[in-house]
């Protein structure tokens, strides 16, 4: 994927230790990073308790705002999958393993 934002610390587009969270905003799911499991678990809980008729946009954006506050770097990009098909992504990075561990602990403590 040439549209992928590289790591600001390694300049790599592969899964690197600085990747805190990669989120597919179009389908509202974390798809990579060290915070992925905790994020998806909490998002699943929100979806289960909010019911079928609720608007997912605001709670999802609130959850992303929490991650944004824990990350050391952030970017967004779009992947074009052809005519009428694209996905928006948000990518969050930690500057070190210590920073990533602290972010995961703070996120988990809040949920």
pLDDT of residue 42: 94
Give all strands of the β-sheet with 29-32 in edge-to-edge order: 29-32, 19-24, 86-93, 73-80
Per-residue pLDDT band for 80 (boundaries 50, 70, 90) equals confident
Which token pair is 66?
């929490």
pLDDT in tens, 4-22: 778 888 877 777 889 999 9
> Is the pLDDT score of 47 beyond 70?
yes
Per-residue pLDDT band for 60 (boundaries 50, 70, 90) equals very high
pTM over 0.75: yes
pLDDT of residue 18: 92
Domain boundaries, the chain: 26-109
> Taking the CA of residue 13 as centre, how many other CA atoms within 13 Å lie in the half-sphere pointing to its CB?
6
> Is the pLDDT score of 103 beyond 90?
yes
Which token pair is 11?
């300049």
Residue 80 and residue 107: Cα distance in Å, rounded?
31
Residue 92 and residue 98: Cα distance in Å, rounded?
15
């Amino acid at each position: 994927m040439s549209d992928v934002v590289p790591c600001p610390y390694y300049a790599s587009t592969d899964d690197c230790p600085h990747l805190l969270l990669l989120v597919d905003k179009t389908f509202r799911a974390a798809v990579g990073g060290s915070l992925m499991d905790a994020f998806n678990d909490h998002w699943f809980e929100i979806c289960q308790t909010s019911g079928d008729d609720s608007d997912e946009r605001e709670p999802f954006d609130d959850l992303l705002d929490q991650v944004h506050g824990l990350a050391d770097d952030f970017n967004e990009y779009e992947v074009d999958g052809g005519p009428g098909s694209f996905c928006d992504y948000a990518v969050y990075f930690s500057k070190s393993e210590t920073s990533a561990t602290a972010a995961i602990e703070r996120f988990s403590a809040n949920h």
